[in-house]
């Protein structure tokens, strides 16, 4: 904003300014979360919306969003709306101590996590160190949705680059159908196994909203 428009905005009635700030909030998001060893804190892509515009916008933002604490021992720069956002562990470096289950066991926010997604490669690595598929999930007692994510990246096929009629580059990817089909079958196996474990290993009373709905996502 220019100084003139800023002054004009500040002159608006408080109720209208609040409505405008709330209108600028992004709604449901998938929030990637990883731990930066360089910064020594949990980080996510992109700055939080309207957090640092002014004191009024910050107040509105903090009335909706909470700083996500996964491990109480480490700082976080991640803000989420627990009601709307999906916390997405998309990075092998998701835990400062290499133990996501322990982090969630000590997190003050585990019970507030309603939607969670985990990259399938990370899921496989976690299972190497903790065979129990519920090692992390059991600490999110109010979880409604758990997704295992298979990334749709360009490395699975051969790239061909062309220029369209508007002069823009377009990347066409010829997927290896057999490889992609095999990966999808693997993820579906994990999903089916996890659903069974949720239904038969943990007591139903363990889950505040009933066992979470387990899905496969392609992102």
pLDDT, tens only, 10-43: 788 888 988 988 888 888 999 999 999 999 999 9
Which residues face 161 on adjacent strands? 171
Residue 7 lies in a domain: no
Average pLDDT score over residue span 130-136: 93
Residue 6 lies in a domain: no
What is the span of the domain harbouring residue 129? 14-218
**pLDDT at residue 3 greater than cutoff 70:** no
Q: Using an 8 Å Cβ cutoff, are 100 and 140 in contact?
A: no
CA distance to 109, 134, 178, 201, 217, per residue, from 104 (Å) = 8, 12, 36, 19, 22
Antiparallel, parallel or unpaired: β 115-119 and 86-89: parallel
- Identify the pLDDT of residue 56: 86
**pLDDT at residue 152 greater than cutoff 50:** yes
User: Percent of the chain, pLDDT > 90?
Assistant: 55
Total tally of structural domains belonging to the chain: 1
- Identify the pLDDT of residue 133: 93
Residue 3 lies in a domain: no
Average pLDDT score over residue span 153-164: 50
Mean pLDDT across the chain? 86
Cβ-Cβ contacts under 8 Å for 147 (sequence gap 6 or more): 86, 115, 116, 117, 118, 214, 215, 216, 217
User: Tens digit of pLDDT for each residue in 40-50?
Assistant: 999 998 667 78
Give the predicted TM-score (pTM) of the model: 0.83
Residue 62 lies in a domain: yes
User: Tens digit of pLDDT for each residue in 58-99?
Assistant: 888 998 999 999 999 999 999 999 999 999 999 999 999 999
Residue 84 lies in a domain: yes
User: Percent of the chain, pLDDT > 70?
Assistant: 85
**pLDDT at residue 141 greater than cutoff 80:** yes
pLDDT band with cut points at 50, 70 and 90 for residue 166: very low
Residue 8 lies in a domain: no
Residue 195 lies in a domain: yes
Residue 4 lies in a domain: no
Q: Using an 8 Å Cβ cutoff, are 130 and 101 in contact?
A: yes
Q: In the numeric block, which tokens belong to residue 51?
A: 């957090």
User: Tens digit of pLDDT for each residue in 99-112?
Assistant: 999 999 999 999 99
């Amino acid at each position: 904003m220019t100084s003139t428009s800023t002054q004009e905005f500040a002159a608006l009635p408080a109720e209208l300014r609040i409505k405008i700030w709330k209108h600028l909030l992004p709604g449901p998001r998938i929030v990637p979360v990883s731990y930066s060893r360089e910064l020594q804190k949990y980080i996510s892509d992109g700055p939080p919306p309207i957090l640092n515009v002014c004191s009024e916008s910050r107040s509105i933002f903090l009335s909706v969003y909470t700083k996500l604490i996964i491990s109480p021992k480490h700082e976080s720069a991640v803000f989420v709306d627990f009601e709307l956002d999906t916390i997405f562990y998309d990075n092998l470096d998701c835990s400062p101590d290499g133990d996501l289950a322990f982090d969630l066991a000590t997190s003050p926010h585990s019970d507030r996590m309603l939607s969670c997604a985990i990259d399938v490669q990370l899921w496989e690595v976690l299972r190497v160190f903790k065979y129990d598929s519920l090692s992390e999930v059991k600490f999110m007692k109010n979880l409604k949705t758990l997704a295992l994510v298979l990334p749709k990246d360009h490395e699975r096929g051969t790239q061909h680059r062309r220029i369209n009629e508007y002069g823009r580059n377009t990347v066409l990817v010829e997927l290896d159908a057999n490889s992609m089909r095999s990966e999808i079958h693997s993820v579906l196996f994990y999903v089916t196994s996890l659903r069974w474990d949720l239904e038969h290993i943990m007591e139903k009373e363990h889950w505040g909203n009933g066992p979470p709905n387990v899905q496969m996502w392609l992102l």
